[in-house]
Amino acid sequence: MNTTENNKLIASFMELKRGIYPSRLGKGYYENTPIGDVEVAEANLLPYHTSWDWLMPVVEKIGKIDNKKFSIEIDFNVFVWCQITRPNLRTITMKGSDPKEVTYKAVVEFIKWYNENK
């Protein structure tokens, strides 16, 4: 999947509707239209891959699934990595040099897994 498709996947997971949102959630969407109907050009306006303000609410939602049974660790100290874990289930770990990119990739992989296994 490319960035546009990944951002649409995240928006769907977040149950985002098209509409006018405060700066934290960008501009250019129309209220009460499912994100699945977003045109590719509009999906490019979803900055999950470039903005902590967009990405961290996704991390918070993952952490609250199933009464907080998923743990999320993001480490920026010596090595940059993000790990999403639930005991006795799959652990998703991403490593790299850019904290936002690593977190974004882990979130995308988690959502793909979650959608297949919920």
How many angstroms separate the CA atoms of 18 and 9, rounded? Answer: 14
Each residue of 105-114: pLDDT tens digit? 999 999 999 9
Say what the pLDDT of residue 42 is. 56
Percentage of residues in the chain having pLDDT higher than 90: 18
Classify residue 61 as exposed, middle or buried by CB count within 10 Å of its CB (0-12, 13-18, 19+).
Answer: middle
With b meaning 16 or more CB within 10 Å and e meaning fewer, what string describes 95-117?
Answer: ebeeebebbbbbbbbbbeebeee
Mean pLDDT along residues 28-50: 56
Each residue of 23-37: pLDDT tens digit? 344 444 434 444 444
Each residue of 92-105: pLDDT tens digit? 888 888 889 999 99
Alpha helices by DSSP H, 1-118: 3-13, 40-43, 52-64, 99-117
Comparison of pLDDT for 67 and 54, the residue scoring more: 54
Q: What is the 3-state secondary structure (H, E, C) of 31-48?
A: CCEEHHHCCHHHHCCCCC
Question: Domains along the chain?
Answer: 3-117 (3.30.160)
